[in-house]
Amino acid sequence: MGLDNCDIVDAVGTDISTGKIVLSVLDSWDWTDESEHLKTLQAKLNAYFSFVDSRQIYEAYPNAEGKGLVVDIVTKFPIPESGMKLLEKAAVVASSVGLELTHRHLA
């Protein structure tokens, strides 16, 4: 899973405090090859956006209907400036398909 397989949603759950459905991207890659990492992360995010925009999420997870949707990117390594720029652009796309985009780094 993770960035090694862009066609799979890594994890889906419900945030108990908000009731929102959270689709997690599990990013364990380091940023040694920044260009490849950015390209692959973008492909992964596009797959998540398509999963929601095509309404496949509601076929796979009927309880998601009518709830807020969040894509949460969980990284093993800190995101460099180029990655943050990608996430800023991705957040605009995410909102256009009804998604909130968040990220966090696990130390």
**pLDDT, tens only, 55-64:** 999 999 999 9
Locate 28 and state its tokens: 């364990």
pLDDT value at residue 1: 67
- The torsion region of residue 54 among left (phi > 0), alpha (psi -120 to 50) and beta comes to alpha
Supply 69's token pair. 């949707």
pLDDT of the residue at 40? 98
In the chain, the DSSP E strands lie at 11-14, 21-27, 69-75, 99-105
Chain segment 62-73, per-residue pLDDT in tens = 999 999 999 999
pLDDT in tens, the chain (107 residues): 699 999 999 999 999 999 999 999 999 999 999 999 999 999 999 999 999 999 999 999 999 999 999 999 999 999 999 999 999 999 999 999 899 999 999 97
